Structure 1
Amino acid sequence: MNIALWIVACVFGLAYVIGGTIKLTMPYERYAAKLHWPEDFTPGNVKFMGLVEVLGGIGLVIPALVDVAPILVPIAASGMALYMAGAITERLRRGEHKELVGDLLFLAAMLFVAWGRFGLEPF
């Protein structure tokens, strides 16, 4: 189970870091032209979401990797689960039901890591 938790944390952590970096570095107009959901948010909101994703992705892996405050891993996973619950709420509000699958996958992965690292396989 420890290996599965590491794999999920690393894969989704990397995905969050990449996605967050794109939100932070790509100009808002270009990003909003590719995806439609940013139209509901200010450029500052989108940049903040990118920052949350980068920090959350780092928090899923680095604390355990360097063995400094590994309790931050399940805390980061819990935070990212809440973040994904917000994303799911936004998808439902916009009627984007097809896109829900990816968000639900990320939510399930974060709940798995939080559950596993808080109790099943803590560091």
Structure 2
Amino acid sequence: MNVFLWILAGVLAAVFLASGAMKLIRTKEQLAGSGQGWVEQFPAGTIKLIGILELAAAIGLILPPLLDIVPVLAPIAAVGLIVLMAGGAITHARRGEVPNVVVNVVLAVLAAVVAWERFGPYSF
């Protein structure tokens, strides 16, 4: 189970590293042009903040347990991702973007598995 949780955390970290970097590197207009219409409802600073939070969560899932420095940060990062994905699901649901809601829910469930197991029986 420990190997499975590492793989799951790695997949989540990769997804959110890419997503967060994209939000930080691209402008609001570039994001909207690439199919992320939700950005039109938020100020550019909020979009950058979401990107920073996604990057922080990606790093928090992997580095603390890998370096054995405050490894409890990994499940805390997973909880942060659950909160981010809940906000994303609400935003996409309001816009009627059902496929995006499904993606948010799947990512939240994966993060919940990591949080549940790392806080519980498979903690570091």
What TM-score results when the alignment is normalised by the length of structure 1? 0.96
Which residue is equivalent to 2:66?
A: 65
Counterpart check, 1:102 vs 2:114: no
Is 1:28 the counterpart of 2:28? The answer is yes
Distance 1:89 1:120 in 2: 31
Structure 2 counterpart of 1:102, which letter? V
1:8 equivalent in structure 2: 8
CA distance in 1, matches of 2:28, 2:12: 24
Q: What displacement does 1:51 show?
A: 0.3
- SS for the counterpart of 1:98 is helix
CA RMSD, aligned part only? Answer: 0.8
Aligned equivalents of 1:88, 1:60: Cα separation in 2: 21
Shift of 1:18: 1.0
Amino acid in structure 1 at the alignment position of 2:38: W
Deviations 1:35-77 (A, max 9, x none): 2110011111111110000001100111001110000000110
Distance 2:98 2:79 in 1: 24
User: Is the contact made by 2:21 and 2:51 (CA closer than 8 Å) also made in structure 1?
Assistant: yes
Cα shift at 1:102:
1.1
Runs (5+) with no aligned partner, structure 2: none
- Structure 2 counterpart SS, 1:120: coil
Q: Unaligned 5+ residue runs, structure 1? A: none
1:51 alignment counterpart: 52
Of 92-101 and 53-62, the range deviating more from structure 2: 92-101
Once the 2 structures are TM-superposed, how far is the Cα of residue 105 of structure 1 from its aligned partner?
Answer: 1.0
